[in-house]
Amino acid sequence: MTINELLKTLATGQTLSNVYVILGQADYFQRRLKRGFKQQVPAEEQTMNFASYDMDTVPLAVALDDAMAAPFFGERRVVCIDNPQFLTGETKKQKVEHDIDSLQKYLESPMPSTVLVFFAPYDKLDARKKVTKQLKKVATIVEINQFSERDVRQFVTDQLKQDGYTLEPAALNDLIQRTDADLTLIMSELPKLELYTLPEKTITQAAISGLVTQTLTQNVFDLVNRVLAKNTAGAVTLYRELLQAKEEPLKINAILQGQFRLLIQTKVLAKQGYSQGKLASILKVHPYRIKLALQTHRRFQLTDLNRAYLGLFRVEKQMKSTTMDPELLFSLFMTQFAGTAA
């Protein structure tokens, strides 16, 4: 089942499955779907017939006891299970012991009046486990992992249309760029944008520029372009602005290294014929970041990308082993990088 199909099912009150697995790390949809499932129980019954249990702190048996109970003066009970790490291949033990055998027994004959929902914020489940195999046979699986830029654009446009707003094409482009096409982040910005653009209900590029702050990753991407262009003054100025915004020097450097590593990987693999979609899958990176990397790497030599990456590695070592000012270290890196022929 797709995310849109499930949203429609919840919105229209269609028949629900007895067991769902919401698989993926899209926070916005995790929260929205949990609200949607909660609303399947009448408001006056929610105290008794809706519950959410975090497997990091609550034993699975407690949630299953709730799931096996009949609804209290109602027709349906909804039980949500958060962070079911026992369905993954993660070796780190949770603080709470979980009775997996009881879950397997429950899945053999789910309670007809209960909707049991597993919110699994992971890339995948461990298909080798008996409980996972059983769950996949019984449950409706809904994947909410990374969305393509096209999906994000469509979802945002549809949501605004539903709210009675229009979004100028240039404004949408700017919104995507400033948020790295992060749907969760975009949806958190919409209420502010909608309020600001009343009563016209038209969101302009000026509104985006004035209200939506660029993510740190996007600012660092701009910094990467200035580094590669060997624009020492521009790069140092932006680096200083990030420090003034209270960003940690080691964090900035780590993201810079990550961006250059991605550019190197993209350049090497693209030369071997890998498509944008395949690159996103192999490198486990959001498709939008792959799109930007593909646009960038073509303009620069692999030697420059490697030198920048190694130079930033040396900056990191100096940050950790000396008391030198981070801005000075970055300035020295830029001076050396810009002064070296490709």
Cβ neighbours for 281, distance < 8 A, ≥ 6 positions apart: none
- Tell which residue, 269, 274, 264, 3, has the closest CA to residue 146: 3
- Contact at 8 Å (CB) between 81 and 60? yes
> Phi/psi of residue 324, each to 5°?
-65, 145
* pLDDT tens, N- to C-terminus, the chain (342 residues): 888 889 889 999 889 999 999 998 888 889 999 999 999 999 999 999 999 999 999 999 999 999 999 999 889 999 999 999 999 988 777 788 899 999 999 999 999 999 999 999 998 899 999 999 999 999 999 998 767 888 899 989 999 999 999 999 999 999 999 998 888 889 999 999 999 999 999 999 999 999 998 888 888 989 999 999 999 999 999 999 999 989 999 999 999 999 999 999 999 999 999 888 888 888 888 888 888 888 888 888 899 999 999 999 999 999 999 999 999 999 999 999 988 654
pTM of the model: 0.70
Which CATH fold topology does 216-338 show?
A: Zinc Finger, Delta Prime; domain 3 (1.20.272)
User: Domain boundaries in the chain?
Assistant: 3-143, 149-211, 216-338
For 149-211, CATH number out of 1.10.8, 3.40.1350, 1.10.101, 1.10.287 equals 1.10.8
Q: With respect to CATH, is domain 3-143 assigned 2.40.10.170?
A: no
Helices within the chain (DSSP H only): 3-12, 27-38, 46-49, 60-68, 100-108, 130-138, 149-162, 169-179, 183-196, 205-211, 216-228, 232-244, 249-271, 276-283, 287-297, 302-321, 326-338
Q: At what angle do helices 100-108 and 60-68 cross, to 10 degrees?
A: 20
